[in-house]
Amino acid sequence: MRIDFVTLFPDMFAPVMDASILGRAKEKGLLEWGCVNPRDFSDNKHHKVDDRPFGGGPGMVMMVEPLEKAVKSVKKKSSKTIFLSPQGEKFTDGKASQLAKEKHLVLVCGRYEGIDERALDLFDEELSIGDYVLTGGELPAMVVADAVVRKIPGVLKKEDAASSESFVEGLLDFPQYTRPRVWRGREVPEVLFSGDHKRIAAWRRDAAKAATKRKRPDLMSRA
């Protein structure tokens, strides 16, 4: 898969996109990514990309022209273009699985008070990572990229793969333990030392269900 980020802050991306599992996905040839800056497409001599809102009010609005040129410079017929915004459809694990099948994602990051409404025609989808307001779309775009790239076959090692299945089943992860076996008087559940893989799997299923009921009852109806 290739991912292009349309952003006024391209320097934010490498520290996240080149680290850990995403970095390894690139080294393995499973992911290519790049940034394109609308500022480089402004025909204004000061490279201006924002202007004051018609009708008045505080803050600035991203202009449609530099945004359109930036998107068009990376977009192909087979691309899916996505704008990150609190007004979008809620991004979920299911959506991540869907997007993982795409060949090319163009993730467009807004800044300021937002973008000119007419720019929305440039996008196939509008996605929100949650009901809170961030400074820009860069962090949401990287959240989407991370969740999507993990779903590409071959990105996760076999050992990692199992834990990613939990959300697919609609439940939270089961509780995990490592050494020491006793910590401040708290013991690791005995069954995990039994060597009985069937019993362990059954315990984990029950524990995942109990944790979901207690911490996220809203997920139980789906599971």
Residues that bind ligand 4HQ (CB under 6 A): 84-86, 110-111, 114, 128-130, 132-134, 136-137, 140
* Closer residue to ligand 4HQ, CB minimum distance, 4 or 138: 138
AA identity, residue 18: D
Instruction: Please give the DSSP secondary-structure letter assigned to residue 144.
Output: H
Closest contact distance (angstroms) between CB of 49 and ligand 4HQ is 13
Closest contact distance (angstroms) between CB of 144 and ligand 4HQ is 9
* Closer residue to ligand 4HQ, CB minimum distance, 111 or 150: 111
Dump the DSSP string for 174-220: PP---S-SEETTEEPPGGGGS--HHHHHHHHHHHHHHHHHHH-HHHH
Closest contact distance (angstroms) between CB of 4 and ligand 4HQ is 17
Q: Are strands 79-90 and 104-108 parallel, antiparallel or unpaired?
A: parallel
Both tokens of 205, joined, read: 């299923």
Closest contact distance (angstroms) between CB of 141 and ligand 4HQ is 8
* Closer residue to ligand 4HQ, CB minimum distance, 55 or 154: 55
Q: Name beta bridge partners: 80.
A: 105
Q: For the chain, how are helix, strand and coil distributed in percent, rounded to 5?
A: 40, 20, 40
Angle ∠(34,113,79) on CA atoms, nearest 5: 30
* Closer residue to ligand 4HQ, CB minimum distance, 71 or 156: 71
* Closer residue to ligand 4HQ, CB minimum distance, 17 or 107: 107
Angstrom distance (rounded) from CA 7 to CA 34: 10
Closest contact distance (angstroms) between CB of 128 and ligand 4HQ is 4
Among all chains, which residue has been given the structure tokens 């292009």? Answer: 4
Closest contact distance (angstroms) between CB of 83 and ligand 4HQ is 8
Residue 68, judged by CB atoms within 10 A of its CB (0-12, 13-18, 19+), counts as middle
* Closer residue to ligand 4HQ, CB minimum distance, 86 or 170: 86
